Amino acid sequence: MFLRPVVGSLAMAACLAVSSAEGAKSAPEPPIRVGVLAYRGGDHANAVWEPTIRYLAGRFPGRGAEMVPLDLSGMDTAVQNRTVDFVLTNTGNYVELEGRYGIARIATLHSSRAGASGASVGSTLIVRSDRTDIRDLGDLKGRTVLASDPDAFGGFQVAWGEMIKAGIDPYRDLKNLGFSGFPLDRIAFAVRDGESDVGVLRACLLEELAAEGRIDPGQFRVLAPRTPPGFDCAVSTDLYPDWPLARLASTPEVLAKAVVVALFQMPENDPAAEAGGYVGWTVPLDYQPVHTLFRALRIGPYRYLREISLLDIAREHWEWLALGALALLWWAIHSLRVEHLIKVRTAELHAANRSLLHEMAERRRAEENARDRQKDMDHVARLSILGEMASNLAHELNQPLGAIANYARGCTRRLEAGTSDPMQLVEITRAIADQADRAGRIIARIRDFVRKRAPQLEPMDVNDCVHAAVALCQGQASNGNAAISLSLADDLPPVLVDRIQIEQVILNLVKNALDAMAETQPGGAGEAVRVVSIRTARDRDGRVEVGVADRGHGLTAEAKGRLFEPFFTTKSGGMGLGLSICRTIVEAHGGHLWATDNPGGGTVMRFVLPAAGPATSPMCPTASPSTADEPPVVTEERNHDR
């Protein structure tokens, strides 16, 4: 009946495989040995399960099958020694054997009394019908309870779980917890004869004993009865999956498949099913509820959870622990009064103090070394930037030097021709001096930028740093047909910074923006479309904000996540240190540097610096670029943004 449409096509293949395996051997194979748990003794096991074994023997005529009745300890020994091929045992015993020896269930018994969920294993707690003092599980405290075996699933473990839920620990709260062993029949007789207050039976055993005429059901009452849907036996607990048929790890897979196919094809009216009180076999059910029960009880595969923790000891013996703590406290106070221990402790404190001072000195040296390395990195970064901009700086210097040379040659020709006018010579020499001053200012800016010195914090206008940095970038912008647009607020508070370091940050951001737009195509009629916008303003918190925006290729998602990592770069020849050093500099000044997408395409790099309050010391020298004979690459717009 069960799974016959699914396994019908497999039956012939399984039988052929077994037959082929049998035909390939010259000697006959031993019979299939099935270990069966005899929870009511060997005679009862033979009466119930022998027809099922005969059914299997008929499906394997060349091999046969035999039943091996076993109790719980015998089942463990048989599986350990591999003296059986399959085991048919209760649900709890299967879970223990599965965890201990790796047996695997291949089918689950479908009892004729199974409930709507297919589960049919539970416990029934019985008392004499005239015991009105025991009504529910909470009344078990101080009573005598008789079960079959500590390892019996339906005969004790399921009932144990229900007692725990009711707040009763059977090993601590009962007057006496006894175990009668198999068969379970004697438990009912002990309750009937008054030898025990309560008995724990496997579900449906009470009805079976009554049907056999061995007890009078009117003499018993089920404690805390439940009525699971579709289940016609009185129980006191939840129901769990029925007995599984499991194969040992050493049992051949071909044989296991053939046996399970044979069981699935058993008709529900077969004599074996009628004798066993079931209607067939089904696929293995979910035994997770059994694992949950065992985990709560800390038995079976979860016995390791019963190891006593410090918290358990504290809960169990808190009175003695409190007394010991008081005694220890008295001893500590007494010991502190001893002069010898005071001296020892004082010496230890001196040693600890020396160790702490040494550790603090080492930490200070480490911090100083880190600061020195940071200064070196900043200096190297500035040199690297100027190295990359060398051709542009040379172009800037060539302009005033070329102008000086031209003025000098003109003056020489006039003197040689004798047509010199003193007033013209005065104008020429003034022009030469202006160009020399201009070249000197360029060289001074470069010298200040690359000079290695200790950071000098002073209050200054950040717009001056912007002008100084832009002056160093004008050559690169002009050569790349790019423009630098300035939108600088004129009411910014001063910031307490190192001028060279902030110029380094702005210069690096502007240079990166120009590099990002290096492949942008220019517009028509000589119009420059490569524009780097520099903006200064105050943010909502009153800090000074500087933004450098470009219209380049923008940043990928990966680049955004790693933008400030050392040695990460999007340039083919970049070192990957510029932005990392910039962030370090800004954060050392109490600010923050970050990147966002430009709405019109490209990237916006922003950083903020805390305001220093009203300026009380001289600001840094203004480094505004001279516009004489220089390409018009800078446009400036003053604003009042806050």
Mean pLDDT of the chain: 80
Secondary structure, 3-state, 400-459: HHHHHHHHHHHHHHHHHHCCCCHHHHHHHHHHHHHHHHHHHHHHHHHHHHHCCCCCCEEE
More confident residue, 98 or 412: 98
Element spanning 273, H or E: helix 271-276
d(CA 309, CA 302): 15
Q: How far apart are CA 276 and CA 49, in angstroms?
A: 6
Strand partners, 124: 201
Find, among 587, 535, 579, 536, the residue nearest to 555 by Cα.
Answer: 579
| pLDDT of 256 strictly over 60 | yes
DSSP tag of 601: S
Closest CA relative to residue 37, chosen from 92, 103, 82, 81: 92
So what's the pLDDT on residue 315?
75
Q: Is the pLDDT of residue 630 over 60?
A: no
* Structure tokens, 23: 């035909």
The answer to whether 452 and 501 are in contact (CB under 8 A) is: no
The contacts of residue 197 (CB under 8 Å, 6+ apart) are 127, 131, 134, 143, 144, 145, 191
Peptide bond into 183 cis (omega under 30): yes
Beta partners for 178?
A: 146
Between CA 52 and CA 62 the distance in angstroms is 17
pLDDT for residue 26 is more than 70: no
Least confident piece of the model among 134-143, 153-162, 381-390: 381-390
- Percent helix, strand, coil in the chain, to 5, is 50, 15, 35
88, 243 Cβ separation under 8 angstroms: yes
Measured CA to CA, the distance from residue 536 to residue 243 in angstroms comes to 80
CA distance 446 to 472: 8
Of the listed ranges 19-23, 334-338, 354-358, the one predicted with least confidence: 19-23
Angle in degrees, CA 126, 128, 131, rounded to 5:
110
Tokens for 189? 């007789």
Report which listed range, 52-61, 299-308, 332-341, is most confident. 52-61
- Residue predicted with more confidence, 128 or 620: 128
CA-based angle 386:387:389, to the nearest 5? 60
**85 pLDDT more than 90:** yes
User: What pLDDT is attached to residue 638?
Assistant: 43
Query: pTM surpassing 0.85?
Result: no
* Widest Cα–Cα separation across the chain: 152
Structure tokens that stand for 217 in this block? 């059901």
Q: How long, in residues, is the chain?
A: 642
129: pLDDT confidence band, cut at 50, 70 and 90?
very high
* CA–CA gap between residue 98 and residue 90 (Å, rounded): 12
Q: Picking from 13-27, 169-183, 407-421, which range would have the lowest pLDDT averaged per residue?
A: 13-27
Average pLDDT over residues 145-170: 91
Say yes or no to pLDDT of 120 above 90: no
Q: According to the model, what pLDDT value does residue 24 have?
A: 43
pLDDT in tens, 571-617: 665 666 678 778 888 998 899 999 999 887 889 999 999 998 654 33
In whole angstroms, give the CA distance from residue 89 to residue 79: 12
CA distance 128 to 97: 36
Q: What is the pLDDT of residue 244?
A: 92
286-300, 321-335, 429-443, 588-602: the lowest-pLDDT one: 429-443
Residue among 87, 81, 84, 85 nearest 45 (CA) = 87
CA 325 remoteness from chain centre: 40
